Amino acid sequence: MPLLAESAARPKVLVPEKLSPDGLALLKTTLEVDERRGLSPDELLKIIPDYQALLVRSETKVTAEVLQAGKNLKVVGRAGVGVDNVDVAAATKLGIVVINSPSGNVGAAAEHTIALMMSMARNIPDGCASLKGGKWERSRLVGVEVNGKTLGIIGLGKVGLIVARLAKGLGMKVNAVDPYASPAVAESASVNLLPSLSALLPTVDFLTIHTPLIASTKGMISSTEIAQMKKGARVLNVARGGTFDEVALLEALESGHLAGAAIDVFTSEPPVADSSAAKLIAHPRVVATPHLGASTVEAQENVSIDVCEQVLQILGGALPRSAVNAPLILPEEYKKLQPFVHLVEKMGSLYTQHYTSAASAANRNTFDLIYEGEISGINNTKPLFAALIKGLIGPISSTAGVNVNIVNAELIARERGIVINEQFSRDPTSHSYSSLITLVARPPSRASSRPPPGAASAAQPTKTAPEQQQIISGTCSQSQPLISRLGRFATSFVPEGTLLICHNYDSPGKIGVVGSILGKESVNINFMGVAAVSKSLLEQEKSVAVGEGKAQLGEAYEPEKEALMILGVDKTVEENVVQALVQEGGVLSASVVSL
């Protein structure tokens, strides 16, 4: 299975708000799309268990209760930038990916900011209403020019940067504050970065804010900050309601300290009657619009198509690229990581199914995940970590409807006491593969120890008895996962379907005996591979055996005669058949693995 769990054929997507026809058309190619506008909260709760994806704009409230009820939900898509209406923390605990479209409407928001600024500076809404009312009030509606004025920008992100460039085109000076902004990017846009908000506020004639609404930005422009601004300055908010203290803003307009405000977003939308937001809208020196920052034909189309493409990719098993509750995967890493995500999940599942049937596997919860060669150059290994956790616990434990993925893998690992130590070696692998990943399970008594760094030493087991060696290595060949080592055996097989892995002495007729037993039970063999003991690994084992004494391993122990038979079969092999292979077929042990 891919990192994000697969759904049944034609997964269902609920769309309770208006999305562009082109975006919906993308979804309808492979998904069942259910457009249900105007749902009440109770109606949403009732039907959400039937859906794998939920696509919203800003009206639908995706609460923790809704997410908990969505037993099959894999992804919540927000067609826009902000996710204020989605309980992201609850989604994270449940392993539900929350995606947005961070770039689709940035141009529209920036243009709306400039449009509001010009409307406020030149009294355009008031002038239009006056003229339509039969008046001609040129002297009352004298405005101010923006050329030569200073625009202050709080938040020099994607929107803020476009606003800055547009303002420079109007002949404005632009000062900004943003602790995370690149000085080089600001310089290239001719923006003067200032060290603090208190340094910015006294310099501006117009102030605009372009930050998300988080704890540190809620009410960040209040009475104290407004008092630091010039008398007669003007402010704009096309970001998020709540970044401006609406009560303080109303007082500053009433007192005349601020000459005007242009507001597109409010603390409550639509504003409640007699609230501070409603009073601001009614104020004569306020230009107000009903959250139109992203409301252009082009922006609506862009965000809808973007979020629909992401939903398709995630439900198809791909890694999210704009998830707000998952690490960012850079485009150049995305293509390289995807096949290895598949590989590592298979390795984890193979480990659990093949090794945990042995008593020696009990209580092993500490693992080394070793990256060798090109794969070690990947900066973001979170998807690989998550894939391993999912593979390890998937065959033996129910997660009660929770998806194990990059969103919640670390949380689940902590809850279950699983420790993963990641190691990296950029040296070429010792197996002629361009990339190699090795999984080493630690014996309980050595859980606190770590193998030495480096490719060769990292892949070698600690000096323990041969039956304690629980190591799986794998690589990818043209995006196809391959297992190259299983314990002390060098092999090469694709970890797919139902596999029967037989540990036996390699003697004449063994294959025929195994085939005969399976044939009697109507088990068809699709493919077969035989893996002999690796000579290099055998030398390591012999040195261990000498150190621990032959008596411990048995005088008749002849590891060079051992082999693995790896059979791809067409159905699950029942326990009685496995017992027959051991008792009648002379197999030392056998495990059935479903991948």
Same structural domain, 50 and 76 = yes
Same structural domain, 353 and 268 = no
Residue 579 inside a domain? The answer is no
Residue 506 inside a domain? The answer is no
Residue 580 inside a domain? The answer is no
Please check whether residue 361 is in contact with residue 441, taking contact to mean a CB–CB distance below 8 angstroms.
yes
* pLDDT score for 549: 37
Residue 494's Cβ-side half-sphere holds a number of Cα atoms within 13 Å equal to 11
Burial status of residue 386 (CB atoms within 10 A of its CB: 0-12, 13-18, 19 or more):
buried
Same structural domain, 138 and 211 = yes
Of 442, 459, 487, which closes a domain? 487
Please check whether residue 121 is in contact with residue 143, taking contact to mean a CB–CB distance below 8 angstroms.
yes
* pLDDT score for 466: 44
Angle of CA points 314, 316, 318, to nearest 5°: 50
Residue 507 inside a domain? The answer is no
Residue 538 inside a domain? The answer is no
Q: Which candidate, 210, 195, 204, 193, places its Cα nearest to that of 226?
A: 204
Q: Are strands 286-288 and 258-263 parallel, antiparallel or unpaired?
A: parallel
CATH code of residue 239: 3.40.50.720
Q: What are the structure tokens assigned to 493, written together? A: 């097989």
Residue 512 inside a domain? The answer is no
Residue 475 burial (CB count, 10 A): 26
From first to last of the 595 residues of the chain, give the pLDDT tens digit: 444 444 446 899 999 998 888 889 999 999 999 999 989 999 999 999 999 999 998 889 999 999 999 999 999 999 887 788 999 889 988 889 999 887 778 899 999 999 999 999 999 999 999 999 999 999 999 999 999 999 999 999 889 999 999 999 999 999 999 988 888 889 999 999 999 999 999 999 999 999 887 777 889 999 999 999 999 999 999 998 999 999 999 999 999 999 999 999 999 889 999 899 999 999 999 999 999 998 888 888 888 898 999 899 888 877 677 788 877 666 667 778 889 989 999 999 999 888 875 444 445 788 999 999 989 888 788 889 988 988 888 776 544 455 677 788 888 888 788 899 999 987 765 667 889 999 999 865 443 333 333 333 333 333 334 445 689 999 998 889 999 999 889 899 999 999 999 988 877 878 888 888 998 888 899 888 888 887 666 565 554 444 333 433 344 556 677 888 999 999 888 888 888 888 887 788 888 999 8
Q: What are the structure tokens assigned to 488, written together? A: 């002390």
Catalytic, out of 57, 112, 210, 240: 240
Residue 474 inside a domain? The answer is yes
Q: Active-site residue 112, yes or no? A: no
3-state secondary structure of 107: helix
3-state secondary structure of 567: strand
CATH code of residue 381: 3.30.1330.90
Residues 6 or more apart whose CB falls under 8 angstroms from that of 30 comprise 10, 312, 316
Catalytic, out of 269, 496, 574, 584: 269
* pLDDT score for 430: 62
Same structural domain, 33 and 69 = yes
Same structural domain, 276 and 348 = no
Burial status of residue 283 (CB atoms within 10 A of its CB: 0-12, 13-18, 19 or more):
middle
* pLDDT score for 429: 57
* pLDDT score for 431: 64
DSSP H or E stretch at residue 551 = helix 550-553
Of 470, 487, 504, which closes a domain? 487
Same structural domain, 229 and 115 = yes
Please check whether residue 348 is in contact with residue 403, taking contact to mean a CB–CB distance below 8 angstroms.
no
**How many domains does the chain divide into?**
3
Q: Which candidate, 354, 392, 347, 337, places its Cα nearest to that of 496?
A: 347
The DSSP call for residue 201 is G
Angle between helix 409-416 and helix 382-393 axes, rounded to 10 deg: 50
Please check whether residue 569 is in contact with residue 498, taking contact to mean a CB–CB distance below 8 angstroms.
yes
- E-strand stretches of 89-145: 97-99
Same structural domain, 121 and 221 = yes
Same structural domain, 148 and 111 = yes
The C-alpha atoms of residue 109 and residue 105 are separated, in whole angstroms, by 6
Burial status of residue 533 (CB atoms within 10 A of its CB: 0-12, 13-18, 19 or more):
buried
Same structural domain, 348 and 450 = yes
The C-alpha atoms of residue 338 and residue 335 are separated, in whole angstroms, by 6
Of 465, 487, 509, which closes a domain? 487
Same structural domain, 377 and 483 = yes
Q: Active-site residue 291, yes or no? A: yes
Domain range enclosing 303: 12-104+298-315
- E-strand stretches of 66-126: 75-78, 97-99
The C-alpha atoms of residue 247 and residue 158 are separated, in whole angstroms, by 29
Residue 174 inside a domain? The answer is yes
Q: Active-site residue 240, yes or no? A: yes
Query: pTM higher than 0.85, yes or no?
Result: no
Catalytic, out of 122, 283, 291, 321: 291
Same structural domain, 130 and 53 = no
Calculate the dihedral angle through the C-alpha atoms of 292, 293, 295, 300, rounding to the nearest 10 degrees: -150
- Give alpha helix (H) positions in 170-296: 183-188, 197-200, 223-227, 246-255, 276-282
Same structural domain, 266 and 151 = yes
